A and B are shown apart, each in its own frame.
Chain A
């Protein structure tokens, strides 16, 4: 079918000259195609661009010399207000984009015109504690699009028409379970986590049968009575300990292993009633994709009290370290440290701060933080770096095999952390304040920057400073470019080697989504989302 598509593309290209119509093959994506997504960069088949979630594109039509000619080709505007964080999937001429709170729209990538739209029927008393009612994208496998709804359902839609194929409940929204992440489609399985960690629940990650939605396995991220690690939770705090799995992870097909980050222990800012390391919160989990068994874990922030989830998308790559070829998983953590781990064993290889932090002296040989004294929130407010929103949050970093650099949109900001109730009442999620809160160090005292780190060491190669906040992921291309944006509406391109700004445009509202790129009819496009609009750029 892929071959067929190439033939079509060829035909289309020829067609362009002759002035022919442009035809989309029936949308259909095999596991094998996602597996080798690098070999057909025209599409963007999975949330992270590939299973390693590198957000790197082999497309190079747009390059350092011509990027300054980029031109807006079409715009699609959402029909409702809300916060727009969707990372589109592009397959065979169709772009699947999700609108807040949970609407999937299929767009014709050639013209920007919608071809179908599906909206979840949501409960009127929808509960979203500590997160926006939005959605970050879909997964596609075969001729089916998979979306996880804000009220915690997983729904399979016909990729051609948006007709519902099946619908299963992942969690109880009346208990504050809510999902914003894009599911991950692997061989015959749909992997999806859940959010709502401020609501006082026990985190888990599920695998569902892509055909019928049957649940294949569930892994709880917090051990229960009798399981190892339960003793890292004082009393019965493990029952409501959070450790949600709210952002999309990565997958290594050879090791058949999923890599998924976990969120904060609950309540966030008051650890008094949950003394101990609180496993497996704020950790990276390596999970057997067939059984859902945990192979290993690495906890970035033991007994975390600043809402520094470890949910940042992990990036997989192979590199030679000390003359040894290593399979690596790297993560720029919300806690301001960059970590390099062996993804076979979970062994800590390297780690260092990539943003200002005042909570740890550093990491020990095993990668455990050596904490400073008095870093916990107080009733009066305790100034700590980074802020609650973290050095990076849910937005994706990228990795370029060409440069060997890891590109992260970094936030330089501190916050006064306040302490509240030590316990939470899971029966009443709407009252959960997370056990405290924060006041940001705002204004000129804060800034954001796109930073390029040596992927194996975390040493900073360059940075591009932005004024104000930024909630955008980075996109790396074989054209030697990094695309990113700021919250003031500037969407821009940087030189991947030097960080030099090469192009920018003012889109008029905060950009809060991971950029992607695709090609159709032989032309490369870059997608930026600002405010309530999808904006698509290409060369003239």
Chain B
């Protein structure tokens, strides 16, 4: 064990050589070959959130205990998915702070807090942050007030700082950027405040903008403009607020897009409203659209399609294919061919009452408008506004071939309202998304961990929880799935059967994605509850 540690140190010492970049692109490319580290938001470029570590197993999971805890010092909600690189953990705290922590002892090493303008009320999202990206010697942080900042991973020194967008236009960012070869890709949020969605790519060395792709037309001649009646494309929307995936071989970036604007009042924007509520595949070098797939045409329930897309290989109908799977907020599970965007499968994974089903091309066959469209008095539709799943990440195990998702079953009364929006929101947004929701029947909403056959979406098992859980899932080579319930019970399930093996009450809601890492050859699992980061291990 000590030996292991010294090896670690030697590594570090080599790191002192000026030429050596700590995390070159090659390490990200082969992230699966170093399971002791967690090098990017989704664990690997396929966003599988699969850990190759196997020290913790169904047999010994009951012996898990808290190794150490770190409490963030402020208020707010901790939704950060930490990176762990060679024994150092990089975690973000609300609103946009970064803390480097000794992953063995939990002692903080440095802390960075950008100056956030006071006259700023993010709309439709919490002022928090879900993580950083690492490439070379730098960490990349996207701040709530729309800056992309490169920090020296050793000490938190700012290397460069570039503005992505103007918060006065409704933009706000909570996502972790995605680091490619020499590039940093990052999206924007703020759909409820009228943000006009786009995805940007920056030079990792100097923060120069390399390309920007707008998800919604900005002129009548732009592609998709004709799917917005009366030039309503100018409303914006189609934000890109959650971290996407990347296929190095195809050199394609996959990113989900958010709702059209205004959310709950579609009258002024008849048409499909491209490319909102869609999956877009962009060329990583040029930012050109390779293909798109729209999950929810003319969406009116705030069912963003921003859920992390999971990339995997499988044989479908006797043919090996490169696949992209996404459990959508609209309660359907989709499998697409990620080379072409072709729709292969789509089935509900949670209760839904808005569509009869999907047609051969994967387009929803909607129920009659009067049954599903928001109304002044409120229309009861399933799933809820927060969706069958929201921003939290599902995971995929190449061992079990299962797709694990924390699914929400419940409905809401969707209320249609007028959309009023004041550009400068420094004193609270008036109106907002043109309506909203009232909760559905009391006690109905529940959440469950569901294991789906990744290629078909067929339910293999489910684990029902009490309350409205907002936790992602992690699956390990040891055969465990980790997640948590709304009360803050962090638990381990058998990845094959869903059998609960261990749990611990952490005393506050767990609202982040668990990850796993190892130091000195010892496996740790980490997740945060309330304002506390808990790290678990075997004795």
The answer on direct contact between A and B (beta carbons under 8 Å) is yes
Interface of A toward B, CB cutoff 8 Å: 69, 71-77, 80-81, 111-113, 489, 505-509, 530-534, 540
What string of 1s and 0s marks CB contacts (under 8 Å) between B51-76 and chain A?
A: 00000000000010110111101110
Contact status A81-B74, CB under 8 Å:
yes
Contact status A530-B507, CB under 8 Å:
no
Provide the bound-state CA to CA distance between A531 and B70, in Å. 10
Provide the bound-state CA to CA distance between A532 and B508, in Å. 11
Contact status A113-B505, CB under 8 Å:
yes
Contact status A77-B68, CB under 8 Å:
no
Most buried by B among A73, A75, A531: A75
Closest chain B CB from A6 CB (angstroms): 27
Can you pick out 7 interface pairs between chain A and chain B where the beta carbons lie within 8 Å of each other?
A: A69-B539, A75-B504, A77-B532, A80-B75, A506-B69, A507-B68, A507-B69
Provide the bound-state CA to CA distance between A72 and B63, in Å. 11
Contact status B507-A509, CB under 8 Å:
no
- Inside 8 A of B190's CB, which chain A residues have their CB? none
Closest chain B CB from A272 CB (angstroms): 40
What string of 1s and 0s marks CB contacts (under 8 Å) between B500-515 and chain A?
A: 0000111110000000
The 9 A-B pairs at the shortest CB distance, nearest first, are namely A75-B507, A509-B71, A508-B69, A77-B508, A506-B68, A77-B507, A531-B71, A77-B530, A508-B70
Which residue of chain A has the shortest Cβ distance to B66 in the bound complex? A72
- Inside 8 A of A509's CB, which chain B residues have their CB? 70-71, 73, 532
Provide the bound-state CA to CA distance between A112 and B529, in Å. 15
Asked whether A81 and B75 contact (CB < 8 A) given A112-B505, A506-B105, A533-B532, the answer is: yes
**Quick one: which of B65, B75, B106 contacts A506, CB cutoff 8 A?**
B106
B531 at the interface (CB under 8 A from A): yes
Provide the bound-state CA to CA distance between A506 and B535, in Å. 10
Provide the bound-state CA to CA distance between A326 and B107, in Å. 48
**Quick one: which of A71, A113, A506 contacts B487, CB cutoff 8 A?**
A113
Provide the bound-state CA to CA distance between A532 and B69, in Å. 12
B533 at the interface (CB under 8 A from A): yes
Contact status B69-A77, CB under 8 Å:
no
Provide the bound-state CA to CA distance between A324 and B532, in Å. 53
- Inside 8 A of B504's CB, which chain A residues have their CB? 72-75
- Inside 8 A of A489's CB, which chain B residues have their CB? 69, 71, 106
Which residue of chain B has the shortest Cβ distance to A82 in the bound complex? B75
Asked whether A75 and B506 contact (CB < 8 A) given A113-B487, A506-B105, A508-B69, the answer is: yes
Contact status B531-A75, CB under 8 Å:
no
Which residue of chain B has the shortest Cβ distance to A76 in the bound complex? B507
Most buried by B among A69, A72, A111, A508: A508
**Quick one: which of B105, B107, B505, B533 contacts A75, CB cutoff 8 A?**
B505
Closest chain A CB from B397 CB (angstroms): 28
**Quick one: which of A80, A81, A534 contacts B507, CB cutoff 8 A?**
A534
Most buried by A among B69, B70, B75: B69
Asked whether A533 and B533 contact (CB < 8 A) given A72-B66, A81-B74, A506-B105, the answer is: no
Contact status A77-B531, CB under 8 Å:
yes
- Inside 8 A of A72's CB, which chain B residues have their CB? 65-66, 504
Within 8 A of A (CB), among B508-539: 508, 529-533, 539
Contact status A508-B71, CB under 8 Å:
yes
- Inside 8 A of A81's CB, which chain B residues have their CB? 74-75, 531
Contact status B505-A111, CB under 8 Å:
yes
Provide the bound-state CA to CA distance between A81 and B71, in Å. 11
**Quick one: which of A113, A508, A532, A540 contacts B533, CB cutoff 8 A?**
A508
Which residue of chain A has the shortest Cβ distance to B74 in the bound complex? A81
Closest chain A CB from B273 CB (angstroms): 40
Contact status B66-A505, CB under 8 Å:
yes
Contact status A530-B505, CB under 8 Å:
no
Within 8 A of A (CB), among B300-335: none
Other A-B pairs beyond A113-B505, A532-B530, 20, CB < 8 Å: A71-B65, A73-B504, A75-B488, A75-B505, A75-B508, A75-B532, A77-B488, A77-B506, A77-B508, A81-B74, A81-B75, A112-B505, A505-B68, A506-B106, A507-B69, A508-B106, A508-B533, A531-B71, A532-B531, A534-B507
Contact status A532-B487, CB under 8 Å:
no
- Inside 8 A of A80's CB, which chain B residues have their CB? 75
Closest chain B CB from A537 CB (angstroms): 10
- Inside 8 A of A508's CB, which chain B residues have their CB? 68-71, 106, 532-533
Interface size of B as a range:
20 to 34
Closest chain A CB from B76 CB (angstroms): 9
Interface of B toward A, CB cutoff 8 Å: 63, 65-66, 68-71, 73-75, 105-107, 487-488, 504-508, 529-533, 539
Provide the bound-state CA to CA distance between A83 and B66, in Å. 23
Contact status A75-B529, CB under 8 Å:
yes
**Quick one: which of B63, B71, B507 contacts A74, CB cutoff 8 A?**
B507
- Inside 8 A of B66's CB, which chain A residues have their CB? 71-72, 505
- Inside 8 A of A71's CB, which chain B residues have their CB? 65-66
Provide the bound-state CA to CA distance between A74 and B508, in Å. 11
Provide the bound-state CA to CA distance between A80 and B508, in Å. 11
Which residue of chain A has the shortest Cβ distance to B106 in the bound complex? A506
Contact status A532-B65, CB under 8 Å:
no
Provide the bound-state CA to CA distance between A540 and B65, in Å. 10
Provide the bound-state CA to CA distance between A81 and B505, in Å. 20
Most buried by A among B107, B504, B505: B505
Asked whether A531 and B532 contact (CB < 8 A) given A72-B504, A111-B505, the answer is: yes
**Quick one: which of A74, A505, A532, A540 contacts B505, CB cutoff 8 A?**
A74
- Inside 8 A of B530's CB, which chain A residues have their CB? 77, 532-533
Provide the bound-state CA to CA distance between A80 and B531, in Å. 10
Most buried by A among B73, B488, B507, B539: B507
Provide the bound-state CA to CA distance between A60 and B487, in Å. 32
Contact status B487-A533, CB under 8 Å:
no
Provide the bound-state CA to CA distance between A505 and B105, in Å. 9
Which residue of chain A has the shortest Cβ distance to B62 in the bound complex? A540
Closest chain A CB from B197 CB (angstroms): 34
Provide the bound-state CA to CA distance between A77 and B507, in Å. 5
Contact status A530-B65, CB under 8 Å:
no
**Quick one: which of A73, A77, A506 contacts B529, CB cutoff 8 A?**
A77
- Inside 8 A of B106's CB, which chain A residues have their CB? 489, 506, 508
Provide the bound-state CA to CA distance between A155 and B358, in Å. 61
Closest chain A CB from B331 CB (angstroms): 31
Provide the bound-state CA to CA distance between A508 and B529, in Å. 13
Closest chain B CB from A512 CB (angstroms): 12
Closest chain A CB from B486 CB (angstroms): 12
Closest chain A CB from B466 CB (angstroms): 11
Which residue of chain B has the shortest Cβ distance to A509 in the bound complex? B71
Contact status A532-B529, CB under 8 Å:
no
Provide the bound-state CA to CA distance between A151 and B531, in Å. 28
Most buried by B among A76, A111, A532, A540: A532
Provide the bound-state CA to CA distance between A81 and B94, in Å. 14
- Inside 8 A of B532's CB, which chain A residues have their CB? 75, 77, 508-509, 531-533
Provide the bound-state CA to CA distance between A497 and B147, in Å. 57
- Inside 8 A of A506's CB, which chain B residues have their CB? 68-69, 105-107
**Quick one: which of B68, B73, B507, B539 contacts A533, CB cutoff 8 A?**
B507
- Inside 8 A of A507's CB, which chain B residues have their CB? 68-69, 71
- Inside 8 A of B539's CB, which chain A residues have their CB? 69
Closest chain B CB from A77 CB (angstroms): 4
Provide the bound-state CA to CA distance between A81 and B76, in Å. 9
Provide the bound-state CA to CA distance between A225 and B506, in Å. 57
Closest chain B CB from A429 CB (angstroms): 28
- Inside 8 A of A530's CB, which chain B residues have their CB? 69, 71
Closest chain A CB from B470 CB (angstroms): 15
Provide the bound-state CA to CA distance between A319 and B539, in Å. 43
Closest chain A CB from B79 CB (angstroms): 16
Closest chain B CB from A498 CB (angstroms): 25
- Inside 8 A of B507's CB, which chain A residues have their CB? 74-77, 112, 533-534
Closest chain A CB from B101 CB (angstroms): 10
- Inside 8 A of A76's CB, which chain B residues have their CB? 507
Which residue of chain A has the shortest Cβ distance to B73 in the bound complex? A509
- Inside 8 A of A534's CB, which chain B residues have their CB? 507
Closest chain A CB from B97 CB (angstroms): 15
Provide the bound-state CA to CA distance between A322 and B254, in Å. 84
